[in-house]
Amino acid sequence: MDQAKQKRGRLKDSPSKRMARMMFQLFHSFPEGGMTFEDFFDENCQVDSRQVQRMIKELKEISEEAGVTFHSPGPGRQSKSNPRRFLLEPPFLAHMNEQRLFWLSLMLERMEKRPMAKSQERNENGWMLYHLLQIQKFNEYTEKMKKRILYFEPQQKNSSDISSKLDLCTKALGQELIMRIRYNNRIRRIHPLGLFNRDERWYLVAYCLNKKEERIFRLDRMKDLEVSNEPFVYPENFSLVQHLENTWSAMINRSGKTITVRIHAEGTAAEDLRNIQYHHSQQLEDNIDGSVTATFNVDTWEGMISWVLRWGALIEVLEPLSFRERLREIAEAMAGKYRE
């Protein structure tokens, strides 16, 4: 028994073990910018300064042979501006140019402001990207570009509340557990079937046990969410993609039929329709005057009202007649507010 313990101890303190441990330490320290000389003297590495210097030299030689960049600290004393760190650069970094890295970090920063990101711990890739920006190789470029590239979009005021609701809905959805919610001041028991995001709002598709039918619930209107321990059988024939494929917004017509909506668009509205696919059924016909005629097949036009109104006089609904009449009513009501 004593011989076995001695053998394990010799293996633990062998030069090859120490070398492998140093290499792993360097790789793990990469997001923080590497290791100082003092960092090598931990409880698992009982060596003196000369041994560490020799191992660092050997590591650098091995890295160069393997085509991996090994950064040694610059001259001068250690300080905040000159941390004097040793850095073993991961192989993928050679293919990561500063422009690509900046855009990845910008997308990550944008996503982290959304409720769904707040409900999760920062993932390893995101964590790595954030620390990559602190490395001198990218820092100057990043600081410059942050002042030159901005994005503006609406932000959820209650993102923490939405994120906690997302967590509960995701749990119930993944484990197929019945939920209890308060919606429009009524208690509902539901089978969660799917989550989707539309126009910066989160919705839950669920089978309502009270109404005996599928319903869509807005998360910001859901109160007192509870996930029970009572399981339900997720319907094999339910597909969230198929359930939503003909919708324009969160409004759904349960008749199973679709209607054809035709609009005439000009100016910037026509330009947007050429550049953006608003719905999978969207079909465009270019007109001689530069305008376009767009056709959509949706289950209801009610969800399109706000989208049409935002374009003002640049868009005219050609059909169906019921849609035109509804827009006329809205336009007359709006005009009445501005007559005085």
**Distance in angstroms (rounded) separating the CA atoms of residues 170 and 272:** 34
**DSSP classification of residue 73:** P
Q: How far is CA 134 from CA 33, 77, 143, 338, in A?
A: 7, 20, 10, 54
Residue 167, helix vs strand vs coil: helix
Which value, to the nearest 10 degrees, does the dihedral of the CA atoms of residues 79, 81, 85, 91 take?
A: 170
More confident residue, 261 or 126: 261
The answer to whether 25 and 87 have CB atoms below 8 angstroms apart is no
| Residue 293: predicted pLDDT | 97
pLDDT tens string 55-114 = 888 878 877 777 777 777 766 565 555 567 777 766 655 555 666 666 666 666 666 666
User: Are 166 and 119 contacting, i.e. CB atoms less than 8 angstroms apart?
Assistant: yes
pLDDT at 5: 47
Q: What is the pLDDT of residue 18?
A: 72
- Cα four-point dihedral sign 7, 8, 11, 12: negative
Residues 210-244: tens digit of each pLDDT: 999 999 999 999 999 999 999 999 999 999 998 88
Q: What is the mean pLDDT of the chain?
A: 80
118 pLDDT above the threshold of 60: no
- Separation CA 318–CA 165 (nearest Å): 41
Q: Tokens for 19? A: 């070398």
* Model pLDDT for residues 276-304, shown as the tens digit of each residue: 999 999 999 999 999 999 999 999 999 89
Give the pLDDT of residue 43.
59
- Helix, strand, coil percent values for the chain (each to nearest 5): 45, 20, 35
Over pLDDT 70: what percentage of the chain? 73
| pLDDT reading at 258 higher than 60 | yes
Nearest-angstrom CA–CA distance, 303 and 307: 8
Is the preceding omega at residue 320 within 30 degrees of 0, hence cis?
yes
Binned at pLDDT 50, 70 and 90, residue 160 comes out as: confident
Query: Residue 135 has what pLDDT?
Result: 58
pTM: 0.65
Phi, psi of 174 (to 5 degrees): -70, -35
